[in-house]
Amino acid sequence: MAVGFAALALAALGVALPLLPTTPFLLVAAFAFARSSERWHAWLHSHRVFGPMIENWRRHRAIDRRTKIVGVASMAAVMALSVALDVDPVVLAVQAVALTASAVFVLSRPSPPGD
């Protein structure tokens, strides 16, 4: 259960922090709860925000269009904020590489059927 709660906390942070992915931590949490707590596993799968993400990934290895848009927009906003705050160029370069790779991954995933 500890792994499930830790992964769930990281997934929740990932909703607000663009460099921290949400979906992989949700999948780890679902995996851990499936083996430790039927109650938490059911709660996670029925959660109004996290449940559909898990189900889309489990069934189709897909990320829905809204999640893609919010994710990439968040990444762009973080990059713009870093530029506006005059962050060190080396940090900007590392951030640009990480955000670009993340955006490419997110955008390269298919959308679920009917999305």
Domain assignment present for residue 114? The answer is no
Does 113 map to a domain?
no
Domain with 48, as residue range(s), is: 2-60
Same domain, 40 and 88: no
Same domain, residue pair 50 and 92 = no
- With helix as H, strand as E and coil as C, how does the chain read? CHHHHHHHHHHHHHHHCCCCCCHHHHHHHHHHHHHHCHHHHHHHHHCCCHHHHHHHHHHHCCCCHHHHHHHHHHHHHHHHHHHHCCCCHHHHHHHHHHHHHHHHHHHHCCCCCCC
**Over the stretch 13-44, which tens digit does the pLDDT of each residue have?**
887 776 677 878 888 999 999 999 999 999 99
What pLDDT score was predicted for residue 30?
92
- Identify whether residues 77 and 40 lie together within a single domain: no
